[in-house]
Amino acid sequence: MEIQTLSLPDHPDLAARVAELAAEAGNADGVAPLSEQFLLGLTDARLGHRHLLAVEDNRPAGVAAVDGLTAEMVVAPASRRRGIGTALLRELGGVEVWAHGNLPGAQALAAADGRRVTRRLLVMAIEGPALAAAAEYEGHDAVTAANLRVSAERFGRLTVEQAWLKANNEAFSWHPEQGGWDLARLRRATEAEWFSEEDVLFLWPDGPALAGADGDGVPPLAGFHWTKWHAESTPAFGEVYVVGLASDFRGRGLGDPLLRVGLSHMVRKGADRVILYVEADNEPAVRAYGKLGFTVAEEHAVYANQ
């Protein structure tokens, strides 16, 4: 077994084989080993990912991908327990590594390498009658809901993108992946095959402010709820992909309607199950989702050297 360092977008055939390897591992483990961004990084050179490829008998047996801050890795089910995961971790050095699903095998591998959990990300889910109840939304007297397509027709696409970007960066100024976006990063995210303008919901404040704009020429967006439709699954289900309130609209009781407007949209689309990701240490959010009927379905963890 040898480990090669390369950028997989420069090697499309290898990238395709690694994507197949990840799919095989996901089927075997019941959880996808690579997140959406790291899967995109196999073919999109703009993300700048570095790849460590473990090669066994002239075929990929495992891969570790690094985005500059963290890494994700996977070993082919047929190639496990041969020291490949240990070798990849050794090559990664001090880079923090995600363990999606935080499965027993990943826990044991991390412990043997002297790593500990530094971050936990929960997947919470809601379905059936609980989802139907949580999705009840009859409007709000202070805001108007409109999707991206309708909003762009009214204000112009660039203006809406700027308002969306501003609200996102205010809501996620603390977040290592979602914060600090620029327009290019936002537009790259909307290139995903699953993206739909109808699945991004905005809350615009009612009254004179809606007809005007702030000093930057951007209408005052109260919040956004970006939903994701998982049509690749049978049955299809929805996801609270990103939801955030702008700074000026916090503390006004808009968090609940912002969440419900997206849930309502996904239920109308046919969802009987909706998931979301939330940091485990964000206790207020975990409690709020729990009160709505969400329960923990999965856990993902980041491991770092002690």
Q: What pTM value is reported for the model? A: 0.88
Host H or E run for residue 277: strand 273-279
Phi, psi at 253, each rounded to 5°: 75, 25
How far out from the chain centre does Cα 52 lie?
Answer: 23
Confidence (pLDDT) at 210: 47
Binding-site positions: 36, 81-86, 177, 228, 239, 243-245, 250-256, 277, 282-287
Which residues define the annotated binding site for acetyl-CoA? 81-86, 243-245, 250-256, 282-287
Task: Give the list of residues 6+ apart from residue 138 with CB closer than 8 angstroms, or none.
Answer: none
Mean pLDDT by runs of 10 across the 306 residues of the chain is 95 97 96 95 96 95 95 97 95 96 96 96 97 92 93 94 94 82 93 96 75 56 97 94 93 92 97 96 93 96 93
Asked if 280 and 286 touch (Cβ cutoff 8 Å), the reply is yes
pLDDT of residue 209: 44
* Sequence-distant (≥ 6) Cβ neighbours of residue 200 within 8 angstroms: 147, 148, 164, 224, 225, 226, 227
pLDDT of residue 45: 96
Residue 105 and residue 214: Cα distance in Å, rounded? 52
Give the right CATH number for 2-113 from 3.40.630.30, 3.40.50.9100, 3.30.465.10, 3.90.480.10: 3.40.630.30
- CATH among 3.40.630.30, 3.50.50.100, 3.40.50.1110, 2.60.40.10 for 124-299: 3.40.630.30
Residue 34, CA atoms < 13 Å, CB-side half-sphere? 27
